[in-house]
Structures are given as C-alpha cells and as structure tokens.
Structure 1
C-alpha cells in the first residue's frame, strides 16, 4: 500500500536503541566466562521483559516490543561473536586478557587494581577495563616488576606492575 493512504497516527515509531560498547571492526570479541554469563543473563531479562509486556495499549505494546527486539538483535550479534577465554590457559606470570593486575601509579604510593575484560563487561567503577582500552594495551605482556607507560596528551603515566592474578 502506498504511504499516501496511511493515517499519521498509524505510523510506527522507529525504536532508537543506543549502540553496545564499541568493538572495533575486525577485533575478536573476547569475553571472560563472567562476561558471557552477564550477556546471557541480559538476554534472558530482555526476553522476560518482552513476554511480560502490558497489552492494555496495543500501540505502546508494539513500540515497546520493537524496542526490545532491536536491543535483542544487537545483543544476539554480540553473543554470537563472543569468544570465551579460559583464564587458566593464560600465562599466569604475564598480563593478558582476563588478568587482574595491581599497579602502583607513578611516583605516588597510590595502588590501583584492574581486570582486563571484554568490551561489554568493562566498568571502570568496578575496576574492569576493556582489552581495547589504551591502559590495557600498555599493560599486555608485562610481568611483575615491569613498568607500563601510558602516553597521554600532556605527558605520560607510568605504572609499576605489583601483582598479576587470574581468577
């Protein structure tokens, strides 16, 4: 049917869904088992939300359903490309994907702990940084006692590697 014969009120709104965390083109979607479990739990939550939509207003239900469907499509694509990394297979004395590292920041006595994780699992407030982040890239392949240098616009930050744990 031509769009000329459709009433304005009958037009569906296209759902605006924010993109997932950035994963550069061509980069393998590495995840920890915890990260994969979180993705699957998020998927189940969206499916439950879709199944429990209130059907009082048909148009609102359709819009909400379309929004959830769009989110599920993005999530399913991310899950389909996920490659779970077994942390026990990582070299335990080097920083690699999944490592939890304790770092001394520069000449200060400040110590920070970060885990290098997948892009969807990354959450700086929980001490989890994406393997694609500049800090993670600076830390990869380092060992206890070595320094990692993060170049910044106004100089650089130097981190002393104090501890590496895979858990």
Structure 2
C-alpha cells in the first residue's frame, strides 16, 4: 500500500472553450477508442488459461482500472467547470483568458495565456490562473509591475502587452 497523500486542493473552476473541448476529446478517446481495445485484449488473454501468470491479462486489467478512474475524474470535473467564452468588460486589464507579454528586470520577455488549472501547459505558453505569477498580474494594466516571491527572492515583472485575441 502506498504512502498516504492528503487530497489535492481543487483548482479554480474556470476553463476556456478550447480546454473543455480537449478534455471532452480525452474522455472520448479513452472511453470509445482505448477502452474497447484493452477490453478485447483482456478478453483474449483470459481465454489462455492461468490468469495469475498472464501478463496481458494482468496489465490489461490494470490499464482498464486506470482508464475508468481517469474517465470518472474527467466527467466529474467537467460537470463542475464553468466555461468562460466571453470577453471581460474591461479588456485593458489582465483577466482569465488574456494573452499577456511580460518582461523581467533582465529584459527577457515571456508570453503567456491565463487559463484554468485543468489546461495549463507552459510549453504551449498556457499559465494556470492559480499560479503565483498569474495571481500577481491579475487585474493589472500595461506598464504595471508585479512582484512574485521565488525561492531566490522577489522577481519583478512588468506587463508589456495584453490581448484577448490569440496571436498568429
């Protein structure tokens, strides 16, 4: 039995329409494509006799449990999410869904979109609204500064640009 881990704190319940579509596509892929394939593999492996030493059967059953668990989690999460598909009333401030260009003290710039915790991916420049950086810049305008506490000390960011239209 594994080490006890307390339940993770729930993230914010906001998601972009693109993020919702991605989660729904994952549910479809798992439930309609992958699960039937794994079920067929387990069924064939069960015909081979002794299941205690049958790798296809053992690992197939484990994968079915993983798929069922993930689908159950995604369905519950999709029920509680609020899809934000409209622009905020004030587009000159940083809010959910904004594309933000930031510059640090060294002159390095980064470009992020503020998204929900279920869809963040830094490789795609998607920053979770629950992250310290996003919390520091929320509600700020262009040329405002934000301070983020890091293990090395405070990091100062300046907001260079805000847009609610995806860059090309």
TM-score category, normalised to shorter length? 0.7 to 0.9
Instruction: Establish whether residue 94 from structure 1 lines up as the match of residue 93 from structure 2.
Output: yes
Instruction: Establish whether residue 37 from structure 1 lines up as the match of residue 60 from structure 2.
Output: no
Partner residue in 2 for 1:74? 73
- Matched residues in 1 for 2:12 and 2:102: separation? 26
How does the TM-score come out when normalised to structure 2?
0.78
1:143 CA displacement: 0.4
- Matched residues in 1 for 2:107 and 2:153: separation? 19
SS at match of 2:127: strand
Instruction: Say whether the 8 Å CA contact 1:87–1:166 is kept in structure 2.
Output: no
Aligned residues: 146
Partner residue in 2 for 1:116? 114
Instruction: Establish whether residue 56 from structure 1 lines up as the match of residue 44 from structure 2.
Output: yes
- Matched residues in 2 for 1:50 and 1:127: separation? 31
Runs of 4+ in 1 over 6 A off after TM superposition: none
- Matched residues in 1 for 2:17 and 2:61: separation? 34
Could you tell which deviates more after superposition, 56-65 or 80-89?
56-65
Unaligned runs of 5+ in 2: 3-7, 47-56
SS at match of 2:18: helix
Instruction: Say whether the 8 Å CA contact 1:119–1:131 is kept in structure 2.
Output: yes
Instruction: Say whether the 8 Å CA contact 1:103–1:162 is kept in structure 2.
Output: yes
- Matched residues in 1 for 2:101 and 2:86: separation? 17
C-alpha RMSD of the superposition: 2.2
How does the TM-score come out when normalised to structure 1?
0.79
